[in-house]
Structure 1
Amino acid sequence: MSLIHHPTEVLKPEWVETIRAYAADAERSGKLHSEQLKLVYDQQWFNLLAPARYGGLQTNLPDLIKTEEALSWADGSLGWVVTLCCGAGWFGGFFDETIAAEIFSDKKVCLAGSGAATGTAEVSSDGYIINGNWKYASGVHHATHITVNCQIVNDGENLLTEDGGSLILPFVLDRADVELQSGWKYMGMIATGSDAYTVNNLFVNKNRCFKIDTEAAVVNTTIYRYPFLQLAEATLAANLSGMALHFIDLCEPAFANKATNVRRVNAKNIEAMYGALKDATTLLNEARLSFFKAIEVSWQQPEDQKILETVSSTSRMLAKVSRECVDELYPYCGLLAASPDTEINRVWRDIHTASQHALLTFLE
């Protein structure tokens, strides 16, 4: 497969048809539709990054990125949920082996969580007492397990790292031990069901704690030695790229509809619309090419810091270009793009919501 490709090269037409057929229903219910989930389970997309030794797909990074971009092209919310949940499944490479085997024995395993350190884990005998509240856990309604980041406390004192910062460690919990709370009230990514959750005075064994560090990987393969920051930046940028590609695809019928307004749209204006579409498509594909090249090179040399910095910069640039291309084309799409009942509007809302993620905001 060439570096520059369209998602139609990655996903089967019947998969795309299923994903999009239920996208509006998923948005109305605030979580993925059961038919979409059936497809996710059948294709093991929640297990894209789970270790092979536990039955996961353990996908290499270039193929992962292409798959996630394609899924977000099919539907932004579904692509985002798969990305965030299979990203949490990547933590399986760092879990205690006994816990990991137990978690991934479920054929419908799905991990969700929040990266915010808004909980505490107090040292207690051979485990910890966990308390806290976390926001924005995409896919949490489909999760079998939840991850939490906690500040470690001992005898009422916050433990510190060697450099004086708070010691923060992640834990993996059973979904039954977590209380969900309504918290996602934003204009887009509605079907991600990115709600909040709370944990109260929960004792967990110390083997529920893990460390995300290349040196702490239990499964010693390249994907678990790949730095988490660049993995996160790249996967999120691919989601925005997929949404932008979807929006561009939808511009053709929107422009055709706009062109029927003979009172306001003349040949010169039509030429301007399609010229903008061509320019946006070229710009986005140039950013995608730089991004995919960086991913390919970094996969071969995941310990080269300069190459990893290129992954970061091209990821952020792709996110920026994706947003800007959509915004450049939006005014030409007419009221069709402003109606919340249309597919093109859902894509517009999704990309403008997803692009608020902190990892993608700044170029530096």
Structure 2
Amino acid sequence: MSAIHHPSQLLDAAWVKQIRDNAAEAEALGMLHPKQLELVYQQQWFNMLVPEAYGGLQYSLPKLIETEEALSWADGSLGWVVTLCSGAGFFGGFIVPEVAKEIFADKKTCLAGSGADTGTATEHNNGFIINGNWKYASGVHHATHITINCRIVNAKGTPLTVDSAPIIRSFVLDKADVQLQSGWKYMGMVATGSDAYTIDNVYVDKNCSFEIKPEATVIDATIYKYPFLQLAEATLAANLSGLAVNFVDLCKDAFVFKATNVRRVSEANAALMMEERESAIILLNDARTAFYKAVNLSWEDIANENYLKDVSRASRMLARVARETVDGLYPYCGLLAASPDTELNRVWRDIHTASQHALLTFLE
């Protein structure tokens, strides 16, 4: 078996219990449970990428990745919301300092949003008029601020371009300027509350606009110079990894139950199930090991394009192995895995929903 830590080693057992004890009710609520949020705020998990200059934790990439994997192992929806919302805290390295200081003054600040450029920003006076619709903003119900991408247009609505490419800018707005819409109707990640939102003729000052590129950083720290694409790929892959490790963990008791209570399962069948689980652990941990190696090397030399390509490749491979590992063990779990009331089924639904993210679909 590959020598790599189990995600549980990073979390206090009491934290895991608090997260999991409220996971089923969080699904019923369609958002994180107050008890889960209480822990998120206590540990400042939304602030993992917020600059230290604004009171944030400013984690290194390796520490961020292993923390997010562990949280997704504890619960998929909580891990996903923390990943996406703490990921938006990364923008603190690019937002005008006067604005950023105000946003992050509250330790319960939470940024949520969408990367889709489905809005327009019309230049007006010393700012912009924002209009548009965005989908799938994970954690939006807990957000204090919303981030969006818009195409810059002139007064006639004509998109402005540079070298024939549309000019796209990012913006941060107060949650009060956004109208939420029910939009998350999928089988998994139910408690992420990843609903849609609309913005209708809202004026924002130009200082609320920012660009996410290394040369646009306002905080001189390595994390804000790390390419956002690989940051996103790695954090999402870590979520799938945590989910898969949890599923494999849960299979142990599921297989014991099946071997003990189902007459048609012979001793040979029981042994086969356990052997398949051990093989799955090795495959998954090998993929995790390669992934962490790629992340660590890229962090040590963020200018090395080959290392960054390795992060993209290892992230996609880990996502694939995580999904295929779960699918390989699922048939042995019996109806426990098919019942929506079980943690086993919730993890299965979560990983098959999260793995549909476009960033992780193709190996190349």
TM-score w.r.t. length of structure 2: 0.98
Counting aligned pairs with the same residue, the percent is 66
Unaligned runs of 5+ in 2: none
Asked whether the equivalents of residues 110 and 144 of structure 1 are also in contact (C-alpha less than 8 Å), the reply is yes
Amino acid at match of 2:110: C
In the aligned structure 2, how far is the partner of 1:166 from the partner of 1:174? 25
Shift of 1:161: 2.3
Amino acid at match of 1:326: V
In the aligned structure 1, how far is the partner of 2:327 from the partner of 2:11? 26
Q: Match for residue 105 of structure 2?
A: 105
Shift of 1:155: 2.8
RMSD: 1.0
Secondary structure of the corresponding residue to residue 282 of structure 1: helix
In the aligned structure 1, how far is the partner of 2:262 from the partner of 2:179? 56
Amino acid at match of 2:160: L
Q: Write out per-residue CA displacement over residues 261-314 of structure 1, whole angstroms, 9 at most, x where no aligned residue.
A: 453111221121111101100000000000001111111101110000000000
Q: Match for residue 160 of structure 1?
A: 161
Q: Match for residue 345 of structure 1?
A: 345
Shift of 1:128: 0.3
> Between Structure 1 and Structure 2, how many residues are aligned?
362
In the aligned structure 2, how far is the partner of 1:27 from the partner of 1:3? 34
In the aligned structure 1, how far is the partner of 2:54 from the partner of 2:281? 41
Q: Match for residue 229 of structure 2?
A: 229
Secondary structure of the corresponding residue to residue 220 of structure 1: coil
In the aligned structure 2, how far is the partner of 1:128 from the partner of 1:264? 68
Q: Match for residue 33 of structure 1?
A: 33
Q: Match for residue 264 of structure 2?
A: 264
In the aligned structure 2, how far is the partner of 1:4 from the partner of 1:206? 47
In the aligned structure 1, how far is the partner of 2:267 from the partner of 2:22? 37
Amino acid at match of 1:170: S
Q: Does 1:178 align with 2:185?
A: no
Q: Write out per-residue CA displacement over residues 238-263 of structure 1, whole angstroms, 9 at most, x where no aligned residue.
A: 00000000000100111011112453
In the aligned structure 1, how far is the partner of 2:348 from the partner of 2:8? 20
Amino acid at match of 1:198: T
Asked whether the equivalents of residues 80 and 239 of structure 2 are also in contact (C-alpha less than 8 Å), the reply is yes
Secondary structure of the corresponding residue to residue 150 of structure 1: strand
Asked whether the equivalents of residues 8 and 73 of structure 2 are also in contact (C-alpha less than 8 Å), the reply is no
Secondary structure of the corresponding residue to residue 210 of structure 2: coil
Amino acid at match of 2:169: L
Unaligned runs of 5+ in 1: none
Secondary structure of the corresponding residue to residue 340 of structure 1: coil
Shift of 1:227: 0.1
Q: Match for residue 290 of structure 1?
A: 290
Q: Match for residue 314 of structure 2?
A: 314
Secondary structure of the corresponding residue to residue 362 of structure 2: coil
Moved more, 266-275 or 323-332: 266-275
Asked whether the equivalents of residues 3 and 293 of structure 1 are also in contact (C-alpha less than 8 Å), the reply is no
1:68-217 equivalence runs, <5 A? 68-156=68-156, 157-162=158-163, 164-217=164-217
In the aligned structure 2, how far is the partner of 1:248 from the partner of 1:91? 35
Asked whether the equivalents of residues 3 and 292 of structure 1 are also in contact (C-alpha less than 8 Å), the reply is no
Secondary structure of the corresponding residue to residue 196 of structure 2: strand
In the aligned structure 1, how far is the partner of 2:107 from the partner of 2:310? 36
Amino acid at match of 2:230: Q
In the aligned structure 2, how far is the partner of 1:267 from the partner of 1:234? 41
In the aligned structure 1, how far is the partner of 2:199 from the partner of 2:248? 42
Secondary structure of the corresponding residue to residue 80 of structure 2: helix
Q: Match for residue 18 of structure 1?
A: 18
Shift of 1:107: 1.7
Moved more, 103-112 or 263-272: 263-272
Q: Write out per-residue CA displacement over residues 139-191 of structure 1, whole angstroms, 9 at most, x where no aligned residue.
A: 000000000110100132211123x2111111000001001000000000000
Amino acid at match of 1:179: Q
Q: Write out per-residue CA displacement over residues 295-334 of structure 1, whole angstroms, 9 at most, x where no aligned residue.
A: 1111110111000000000000000000000000000000
Amino acid at match of 2:271: E
Q: Write out per-residue CA displacement over residues 34-76 of structure 1, whole angstroms, 9 at most, x where no aligned residue.
A: 0100100000000000000000000000010000000000000
